[in-house]
């Protein structure tokens, strides 16, 4: 796919699609709850549709009129065995979180996905679930999918110290803990996104969070709710970066999720000197608007406890750094290696093709800027966030064409991304 290049700037108002993390969880919690759950502004992208299809295979009735999704909850004990192994596509969230839900079932389920999913490490989820009493195993004795989960209605609560900072692992344990006997206590390595904790409360559950410690009593019953999904800040990040580095840009993003466990990108832009204002318009849904324009940026160091708050945005933050004055260092980001692709290596390799001064390290990236970018043949590696980052990078190119291989990966989280981007730069 030939990408748009040599653009002056982007201008306008945009509402990005619904938050992917919340969309996944709205289906999951709706299925586990008693009664009806309605979901508005659901993200109809490949990953979230994989979650919807999975729970339909597990016996949950889900209606979709194109505007509102209605989940007819079965309760935690109402799921039924699937007729065959379930394909979860490219969705790491689906396979990891649902493993936690199925740990409390009374049947066996096999989950598999695409080539990327087959490389995702699952012991980080399976080992704590096995401590709780479920039987989980990967393909041919490995920790990799396909995985087989033999659940048990007799799960036991555990005390678990997280070896990695991962909202997916934490969420899988919490979803199992809702069905377990006794209390489960989780100690996080670093505080990660808290959508699961928020949704437990929204659906009528009780959970206690004290810093890095989370306590949940098992045997709770959830009740169906009305859910409005805010815009995904991970999707908004590509436009925030584009507006800050392209000349003559002025952009307003509306209904963006502003959950503080997700807003690391805003902190980084602020620290780099971006000309930006943020307004929380809807406190109940933790959403608001962001206005940003062309900015003079300076390099920063990014690491430590901010990393879980912007892990998915790091590829586009690396692009941002190529246009900032000085050396930007990203560290403590080993989790980027086990995403849809090794995002550390993929980001460094593809931006270097375009002329960026960028170096991959064991746990991050070193970027010197500002540097002009030029045309090249690049690839997404089948990773939606790498593909969208490269589309923004191409807008800076004045010399040559940018041809993107595997552009279809973008549909995993943002099916209309290329259309939205082109509308903002049309004169």
According to the 3-state scheme, what is the secondary structure of 298-338?
ECCEECHHHHHHCHHHHHHHHHHHHCCEEEEEECCCHHHHH
Distance in angstroms (rounded) separating the CA atoms of residues 346 and 352:
10
96 is known to lie in a ligand binding site: no
List pLDDT tens digits, range 281-332: 888 888 999 999 999 999 999 999 999 999 999 999 999 999 999 999 999 9
Nearest to 133 by CA among 100, 164, 166: 100
16 to each of 41, 145, 231, 290, how far by Cα in Å?
A: 10, 32, 5, 12
Maximum separation of any 2 CA atoms in the chain, in Å: 63
Distance in angstroms (rounded) separating the CA atoms of residues 107 and 347:
41
388 to each of 8, 32, 380, 406, 408, how far by Cα in Å?
A: 18, 34, 8, 11, 10
3-class DSSP assignment, residue 385: helix
User: Which tokens hold the place of 255?
Assistant: 């209904």
Q: What is the pLDDT of residue 140?
A: 85
Q: Do domains 11-18+230-425 and 20-228 have the same CATH topology?
A: yes
Q: What is the pLDDT of residue 7?
A: 87
> Is there a contact between 85 and 110 (Cβ–Cβ < 8 Å)?
yes
Q: What is the pLDDT of residue 285?
A: 80
Could you say which of 47, 312, 383, 420 is catalytic? 312
Q: What is the pLDDT of residue 258?
A: 96
How many residues are present in the chain?
Answer: 427
3-class DSSP assignment, residue 175: helix
20 is known to lie in a ligand binding site: yes
User: Which tokens hold the place of 124?
Assistant: 């980080």
User: Which tokens hold the place of 230?
Assistant: 């805010």
**E strands of 131-258, at which residues?**
135-137, 147-150, 159-161, 183-187, 208-210, 213-217, 226-228, 250-257
Domain residue spans of the chain: 11-18+230-425, 20-228
Q: What is the pLDDT of residue 360?
A: 97
28 to each of 56, 93, 198, 350, 421, how far by Cα in Å?
A: 11, 11, 14, 36, 31
| Alpha carbon 27 to chain centroid, angstroms | 15
207, containing H or E segment: none
257 is known to lie in a ligand binding site: no
> Is there a contact between 174 and 186 (Cβ–Cβ < 8 Å)?
yes
CATH number of 20-228: 3.65.10.10
Distance in angstroms (rounded) separating the CA atoms of residues 386 and 380:
5
Q: Which residues of 302-340 are buried (b: 16+ CB within 10 A; e: fewer)?
A: beeebbbbbbbbbbbbbbbbbbbeeebbbbbbebbebbb
Distance in angstroms (rounded) separating the CA atoms of residues 157 and 385:
36
Q: What is the pLDDT of residue 200?
A: 98
289 is known to lie in a ligand binding site: no
25 is known to lie in a ligand binding site: yes
Inter-axis angle of helices 20-32 and 195-202, nearest 10: 40
Distance in angstroms (rounded) separating the CA atoms of residues 40 and 23:
9
11-18+230-425 topology per CATH: UDP-n-acetylglucosamine1-carboxyvinyl-transferase; Chain (3.65.10)
343 is known to lie in a ligand binding site: yes
Those residues with Cβ within 8 angstroms of residue 53's Cβ, 6 or more apart along the chain or in another chain:
none
Q: What is the mean pLDDT of each run of 10 residues along the chain (427 residues)?
A: 92 96 98 97 96 97 97 94 96 96 97 94 96 95 95 97 95 98 97 96 97 97 97 97 96 96 96 96 88 98 95 97 98 89 96 98 97 97 96 96 97 95 82
339 is known to lie in a ligand binding site: yes
Q: What is the pLDDT of residue 310?
A: 95
> Is there a contact between 86 and 126 (Cβ–Cβ < 8 Å)?
no
DSSP secondary structure code for residue 409 in this structure: G
Is 114 part of the annotated catalytic residue set?
no
> Is there a contact between 113 and 90 (Cβ–Cβ < 8 Å)?
yes
312 is known to lie in a ligand binding site: yes
> Is there a contact between 316 and 237 (Cβ–Cβ < 8 Å)?
yes
Q: What is the pLDDT of residue 338?
A: 80
């Amino acid at each position: 796919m030939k990408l748009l290049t040599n653009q002056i700037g982007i201008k306008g108002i945009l509402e990005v699609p619904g938050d992917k993390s919340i969309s996944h969880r709205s289906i999951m919690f709706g299925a586990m709850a008693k009664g009806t759950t309605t979901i508005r502004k659901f993200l109809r992208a490949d990953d979230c549709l994989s979650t919807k299809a999975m729970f339909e295979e597990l016996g949950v009735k889900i209606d979709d009129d194109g505007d509102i999704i209605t989940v007819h909850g079965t309760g935690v004990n109402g799921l039924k065995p699937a007729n065959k192994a379930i394909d979860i596509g490219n969705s790491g969230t689906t396979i990891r979180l649902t493993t936690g839900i199925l740990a409390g079932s009374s049947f066996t389920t096999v989950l598999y996905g695409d080539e990327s999913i087959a490389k995702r490490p699952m012991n980080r989820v399976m080992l704590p679930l096995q401590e709780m009493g479920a039987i989980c195993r990967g393909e041919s004795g490995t920790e990799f999918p396909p995985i087989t989960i033999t659940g048990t209605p007799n799960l036991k609560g555990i005390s678990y110290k997280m070896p990695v900072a991962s909202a997916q692992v934490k969420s899988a344990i919490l979803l199992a803990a809702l069905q377990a006997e006794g209390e489960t206590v989780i100690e996080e390595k670093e505080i990660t996104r808290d959508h699961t904790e928020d949704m437990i409360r929204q659906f009528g559950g009780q959970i206690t969070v004290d810093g890095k410690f989370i306590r949940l009593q098992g045997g709770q019953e959830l009740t169906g709710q009305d859910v409005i999904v805010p815009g995904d800040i991970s999707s908004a990040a590509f436009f925030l970066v584009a507006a800050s580095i392209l000349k003559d840009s002025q952009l307003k993003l509306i209904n963006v999720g502003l959950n503080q466990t997700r807003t690391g990108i805003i902190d980084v832009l602020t620290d780099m000197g971006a000309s930006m204002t943020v307004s929380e318009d809807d406190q109940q849904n933790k959403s608001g608007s962001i206005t940003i324009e062309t900015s003079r940026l300076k390099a920063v160091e990014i690491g430590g406890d901010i990393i879980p708050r912007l892990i998915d945005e790091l590829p586009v933050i690396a692009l941002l750094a190529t246009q900032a004055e000085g050396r930007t260092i990203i560290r403590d980001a080993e989790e980027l290696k086990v995403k849809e692709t090794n995002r550390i290596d993929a980001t460094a390799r593809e931006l270097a093709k375009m002329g960026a001064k960028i170096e991959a390290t064991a746990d991050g990236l070193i970027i010197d800027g500002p540097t002009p970018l030029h045309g090249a043949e690049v690839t997404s590696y089948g990773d939606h966030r790498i593909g969208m980052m490269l589309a923004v990078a191409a807008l800076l190119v004045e010399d040559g064409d940018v041809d993107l291989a595997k552009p279809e990966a973008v549909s995993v989280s943002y099916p209309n991304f290329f259309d939205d981007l082109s509308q903002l730069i049309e004169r």
